[in-house]
Structure 1
Amino acid sequence: QRFPQARQAIKYLVEDGRYDYLETGSLISIKENVENITLPSEERKIRMYPVDFEEFIIYMGEELLFEYIKNCWDKKKPLDEKMHAKAMYLFKEYLLVGGMPQALKAYKNGNKDFYAADVEKRDILELYRDDIRKAAKRYNSRVSALFENIPGYLSTHEKRVVLSKLGESNRSFDRYDEPLFWLDDSMICNLCYKCTDPNVGFALNKDDSYVKCYMGDTGLLVSLAFSENELSSSRLYQQIMNDKLSLNKGMLYENMIAQMITSMGKKLYFYTKYNKEKHRNDIEIDFLLSNESKTNLKVFPIEVKSSKNYSATSLDKFKDLFGKKIATPYIVHPKNLARKDNIICIPPYMICAAFSDALE
């Protein structure tokens, strides 16, 4: 990172043929610190994501539970209730600790010490802030403002970026194109854009001014959302784990689903429809996936519910509008696997298996 000429020299080292090489670096070294060097064409870029739930559950020594979850999905049957409760408990652990390797290692080695993980996460957040200060030179104040406001955006009902909270008018949204792109490109955040017409592909109908900004790792979101004093004891974490603390769980659940979809290599899109008479959105679909077919596009609408009691009103209205294009609607909820009126309701620990199968 501090000596870019070493990166340039890779060309000749690869040519020598005796070794393979692995280069690592932050956004600074990969995108910005390249002055006066020729980038070697031999490089093959690999995007690295936070540890996913499958990796987390195996790291925590629960390989058999993971195999059982996959088996239940394959057979489309719910887990035994005790096993479902165990899987949900592990998922909530994953939700709070996140997928940063340093945080996971501290959590496990500390005998499931949430505070030890939080210390590591705060160090990572400071590294992010350093990257923002050093790399986003032309617009670092705007990048910083967006970054620090992520918990605020996600705690609202609509969860989208609202520039008035940064002291900006909506007319100046184009000033935030590059800062938003920087946060997305650096993988600090995952951007989710509104699709105005899912009938004909998502990217073709993307509304760049209507965007949600999710944190790249949900564990980091927890540490960004709460002050260090609030999380200074594991007791608060345990209250969250046991559902005894008033908390916007929807923010965390939705962020985690965004994280999981992104790790599958998919872009994030959502859909809303405003009702002028009611002065509010009467259709809100959290995420849209597709089979990406050019000739026979099929859409998979996804709603995320953090509560056990909910309605499927938005999904029903979405089906009325786009019925011919819809393959399978999904609701992600804390309850066991179930099917209701052609909607598959899945617990979050089944997401990777379910969505991977659906998109094949």
Structure 2
Amino acid sequence: MLYLKRKIDAFLSEWKANPDKKPLIVKGPRQVGKTESIQRFAAENYTSVITINFVEEPKYKMITADGYKAADIIKNISRIDPSKRFIEGETLIFFDELQEFPDIATALKFFKIDGRFDVICSGSMLGLNYRKIESNSVGYKTDYEMFSLDFEEFLWAGGYDDAFIDDMLTHMCTLTPFNKLEMSVCGELFLNYCILGGMPAVVREFIEKGTFEGSLETQRQLIADYKEDIRKYADGMDQTRILNVFQHIPVQLAKDNKKFQISKVASGARFRDYRGCIEWLNDAGMVNICYCLNFPELPLKGNYDETKYKLYFADSGLLVAMLDEEAQEDLRANKNLGVYKGALYENVVGEALVKAGYQLYYYKREDSTLEQDFFVRTASALIPVEVKAQRGTAKSLRTLITSDKYEDIHYGIKFTAGNIGFSDDIYTFPYFCAFLLKRYLAGEQSEKL
């Protein structure tokens, strides 16, 4: 099976090379490739790999019967399966589907103290059980959050190397427009990525076949699996509400005012009844929440209204899979995004920001038409980010930059279908550059110092 190179690969190598490493917990939504990447790394780097999957083999939940010390757990694993080999310094113990048995996190402290074996845990719905895991293993673990493929990983999958990506960044940093061929190639690749999303199963199929054939079925199966997870892991009454919110995201994103309105989910629905549902979907890694700032100024943390937010899918492919049949057909056959154009590009840019490590914030002034899609920050500045579906002026962006009211804002960034440009303190980049924004800003900052 075609292996897709991922960013976690380099992280795992660095983790293994650290002589003082702690047990590692890899968390992220289901089916983003966690198990596959860990198993490949394990096979290439260890003489013995002990894999314990708490979903497939629930009997292993008994391994803590004699306590959480490493020696006791190893003894109990050996009792269940005497063929497992524990070789000091050459063994990786991989606890998979950690959400089924979060108690095992208590043992991480003892494995760190014991020091003879490397330990990696992984799980999909971890956000939900994470408070328990956190309290059981604080100070004795390293966390890594994994997402579906970002555009850079999608480019790697298509055979494009780091030099290709470095060249894109150079274009941004020097404000050199892309030539016609570059615009055409990158634009086509990015549109494919928008339609497919970054789920490994979908991307792999596309790379192997070279067509969209089967991609929709795979995406729809993922949606079905997510809904199954909601039924399985959401306790009690909330299931219907969570499913309702999940189903309503595409409809609300397609509107001009993309703010998520609970009142549209069900008649008489109120924020306080649904608050836990939004957090549940966020914790499960299914959605990205973009909160409305009280005022566009630093610091961002604590400076937002938790009752006003936009909801984006954590993977744009899931948004596409939930569109109606006609939109699907048009999208795949004609690559026409229709009424969902603005929603899709905004979703993809939001997703790129989250995958680069940003939290999402927007701003809408109550007493005017001033509205800004996203904000990111550097050490000293707040930067408004606009995602334009149509060509045209970014009025709100200009107001934020020129008005004396917003003293943390000095310039803005606009993502469009067009080429690189700069005027009136607004830097314009093609959509396909969004994944490079953090690196671009880091370069900008070092030049200004």
Equivalent residue in structure 2 for 1:49, among 120, 141, 147:
147
* 1:287 maps to 2:374: yes
**8 Å contact from structure 1 (residues 193, 269) kept in 2:** yes
**8 Å contact from structure 1 (residues 289, 299) kept in 2:** yes
Equivalent residue in structure 2 for 1:39, among 125, 128, 136:
136
**8 Å contact from structure 1 (residues 73, 354) kept in 2:** no
Residue of structure 2 in register with 1:258 after alignment: 350
**8 Å contact from structure 1 (residues 199, 322) kept in 2:** no
**8 Å contact from structure 1 (residues 305, 331) kept in 2:** yes
CA distance in 2, matches of 1:214, 1:197: 22
**8 Å contact from structure 1 (residues 188, 215) kept in 2:** yes
Residue of structure 2 in register with 1:20 after alignment: 118
Residue of structure 2 in register with 1:239 after alignment: 334
1:95 positional shift: 0.7
CA distance in 2, matches of 1:256, 1:51: 12
Q: Which of these two proteins has the greater Rg computed from alpha carbons?
A: 2
Residue of structure 1 in register with 2:388 after alignment: 305
SS class of match (1:78): coil
1:204 positional shift: 2.8
* 1:106 maps to 2:205: yes
Residue of structure 1 in register with 2:278 after alignment: 180
Report Cα offsets for 1:17-54 as digits up to 9, x if no partner: 3332222112169617979xx83443322111121111
SS class of match (1:66): helix
Which one-letter code corresponds to 1:77 in the other structure? T
Moved more, 52-61 or 201-210: 201-210
Report Cα offsets for 1:78-127 as digits up to 9, x if no partner: 1112111111111111111111111111111122x223222222222122
Which one-letter code corresponds to 2:357 in the other structure? G
Residue of structure 1 in register with 2:412 after alignment: 329
1:187 positional shift: 1.2
Equivalent residue in structure 1 for 2:249, among 138, 150, 174:
150
The verdict on how the C-alpha distance between 1:194 and 1:96 changes in structure 2, with shifts beyond 3 A counting, is same
SS class of match (1:212): strand
Report Cα offsets for 1:209-228 as digits up to 9, x if no partner: 1110000000111002234x
Equivalent residue in structure 2 for 1:191, among 277, 282, 289:
289
CA distance in 2, matches of 1:358, 1:90: 24
Report Cα offsets for 1:237-268 as digits up to 9, x if no partner: 1312xx4x634211000000110111122111
Equivalent residue in structure 1 for 2:183, among 84, 88, 94:
84
CA distance in 2, matches of 1:188, 1:54: 21
> Where does structure 1 lack aligned partners over 5 or more consecutive residues?
276-280
Report Cα offsets for 1:45-68 as digits up to 9, x if no partner: 211112111111121012253232
**8 Å contact from structure 2 (residues 316, 347) kept in 1:** yes
1:140 positional shift: 1.6
CA distance in 2, matches of 1:103, 1:62: 18
Moved more, 320-329 or 188-197: 320-329
* 1:342 maps to 2:425: yes
Normalised to the residue count of structure 2, the TM-score between the two structures is 0.70
The verdict on how the C-alpha distance between 1:230 and 1:316 changes in structure 2, with shifts beyond 3 A counting, is closer
**8 Å contact from structure 1 (residues 194, 210) kept in 2:** yes
CA distance in 2, matches of 1:271, 1:27: 30
Normalised to the residue count of structure 1, the TM-score between the two structures is 0.86
CA distance in 2, matches of 1:60, 1:148: 32
**8 Å contact from structure 2 (residues 173, 440) kept in 1:** no
Residue of structure 2 in register with 1:124 after alignment: 222
Residue of structure 2 in register with 1:355 after alignment: 438
CA distance in 2, matches of 1:46, 1:146: 28
**8 Å contact from structure 2 (residues 296, 406) kept in 1:** no
> Where does structure 2 lack aligned partners over 5 or more consecutive residues?
1-53, 56-60, 62-100
Report Cα offsets for 1:128-158 as digits up to 9, x if no partner: 1111112221412211111011101101111
SS class of match (2:417): coil
CA distance in 1, matches of 2:331, 2:299: 43
Which one-letter code corresponds to 2:165 in the other structure? F
CA distance in 2, matches of 1:93, 1:77: 24
CA distance in 2, matches of 1:329, 1:355: 14
Report Cα offsets for 1:313-340 as digits up to 9, x if no partner: 1112222254421132011101110002
SS class of match (2:121): coil
CA distance in 2, matches of 1:327, 1:196: 19
Which one-letter code corresponds to 2:398 in the other structure? D
Report Cα offsets for 1:279-334 as digits up to 9, x if no partner: xx51110001122x5xxx52100110122x21121112222254421132011101
The verdict on how the C-alpha distance between 1:305 and 1:175 changes in structure 2, with shifts beyond 3 A counting, is same
Which one-letter code corresponds to 2:411 in the other structure? T
**8 Å contact from structure 1 (residues 32, 135) kept in 2:** no
